[in-house]
Amino acid sequence: AQSVTQLGSHVSVSEGALVLLRCNYSSSVPPYLFWYVQYPNQGLQLLLKYTTGATLVKGINGFEAEFKKSETSFHLTKPSAHMSDAAEYFCAVSVGNTGGFKTIFGAGTRLFVKA
Amino acid sequence: NAGVTQTPKFRVLKTGQSMTLLCAQDMNHEYMYWYRQDPGMGLRLIHYSVGEGTTAKGEVPDGYNVSRLKKQNFLLGLESAAPSQTSVYFCASSLPRTSGDEQYFGPGTRLTVT
């Protein structure tokens, strides 16, 4: 069975600082990995995804994530935080099974950006 | 192209009342989902559907029923609301491909049960 762990329910950074949001997963088969972002009072929207191929994945708004199989991690980073990045971020793992896919979401990490 | 829409956006119910949440998508997606979001618990899957006329239970199905009579619509029903069902409800849809299950979310319905 797969699972997703996001380390830290809250992360606070200063504007211009590095953003690092951690995600570890467990899966018995090669997973597909996603990061979603949720702005206040909105639904989730896809930030980036890893399927196959290059392990460094670039997403929208300057975010990127690296798939490290040996560490079962898919951490999200952004070199320089902007006030508009303040949101909640969800890591998700999806694996194929009979009848389709099963997707599990992490508990989320709320990012605060200080001026 | 509206994507995924949900109605209503807000609702307050008294314990024991019933209601139906409507989700509609115009992307011709096969899969649809209902989640609830509670503080510190992320998203929990209530029910899902892999096609018109089919539904299946998710992680927390008790107290909810669903129907998918048309491909574009997925209804979530609460027959007898309880305070524990106070939550934000999200509908999502996807067109699962060999490259995974990228989901598209609606804006949510905030439900309060008093």
The answer to whether residue A41 neighbours chain B at the CB level (below 8 Å) is yes
Report how far apart, in Å, the C-alpha atoms of A95 and of each of A75, B35, B102 are. 18, 18, 11
pLDDT of residue A100: 67
* Predicted local confidence at residue A2, as pLDDT: 78
- The pLDDT assigned to B96 comes to 74
Residues in chain B where the model's pLDDT stays below 50? none
Q: What pLDDT does residue B99 have?
A: 66
Q: What is the pLDDT of residue A12?
A: 97
A49 in contact with chain B, both atoms CB, cutoff 8 A: yes
Strand pairing report for B64-67 and B73-78: antiparallel
Cα–Cα distance measured from residue B84 to residue A90, given in angstroms and rounded to the nearest whole number: 23
- pLDDT over threshold 90, residue A59: yes
Mean pLDDT of chain A: 91
CA distance A62 to B45: 30
Are B42 and A90 an interchain contact pair (Cβ–Cβ within 8 Å)?
yes
pLDDT tens figures, A12-46: 999 999 999 999 998 877 788 999 999 998 999 99
**B106 vs A contacts (CB less than 8 Å):** 43
Residues of A in contact with B90 (CB under 8 A): 43-44
Q: What is the pLDDT of residue A95?
A: 79
- Average pLDDT value for residue range A49-77: 92
Q: Report the pLDDT value the prediction gives residue A28, as an integer from 0 to 100.
A: 75
* Alpha-carbon gap: A37 to the closest alpha carbon of chain B (Å): 11
pLDDT at position B98 is 65
Sign, CA dihedral A73-A77-A83-A84, equals negative
A9 touches chain B (CB under 8 A): yes
Do residues B42 and A106 lie in contact, with contact meaning Cβ atoms separated by under 8 Å?
Answer: yes
Contact B101 A44 (CB under 8 A): no
From B36, B11, B15, select the one nearest B80 (Cα to Cα): B15
